[in-house]
Amino acid sequence: MSGSKMFASSKTVLPAFVCVMVLFAASSVRAREDSEALAVSLGEVLGSEDFCGLKYDQSAVTAFMDKNVKKDDTEFSSKLRMVTGWTHYRNGIMPDSDKPDQCAEIERVARSYGLIK
């Protein structure tokens, strides 16, 4: 292969490689954002169980996490605990007039997650 043909092919390979790397990085960021969003959502649901007078099936909580949390996500549990704690605090200072809307949303999400039978 002549030098000019090799150079020409590297002009097309390099941009393709860069595109693949950008897509890989974007999917990694998206996965991290998805994990954080799930920790926030589940944390709010779990943190509102008593406040909203709900009772979750603990085996369903475990099954939900097994299905939806990546096995190598080492930060999920700490984020979940942080959001759950914050939700307990927020619920404690929430005006009574906000409770019906909040609890209706929490129950709807908990049912969609399969935590309430």
pLDDT digits (tens, 9 = 90+) for 58-117: 999 999 999 999 999 989 999 999 999 999 999 999 999 999 999 999 999 999 999 997
CA pair distance 51, 48, nearest whole angstrom: 5
In a domain? residue 22 = no
Mean pLDDT of 17-40: 58
Amino acid 100: pLDDT: 96
Residue span of the structural domain in which 95 resides: 34-112
Report yes or no on 72 lying in a domain: yes
Q: Is 80 within the bounds of a domain? A: yes
Q: What is the pLDDT of residue 39?
A: 94
Q: Is residue 62 part of a domain?
A: yes
Domain count, the chain: 1
> Is pLDDT of 26 > 70?
no
Residue 93 forms part of a structural domain: yes
User: Cα(114)–Cα(117) distance, rounded to whole angstroms?
Assistant: 7
Tell me if 92 is assigned to some domain.
yes
Q: How many angstroms separate the Cα of 97 from the Cα of each of 48, 66, 93, 103, 115?
A: 16, 36, 12, 11, 26
Query: Which of 17, 79, 93 lies closest to 46, judged by CA?
Result: 79
Is 16 domain-assigned? no
pLDDT over 60 at 56, yes or no: yes
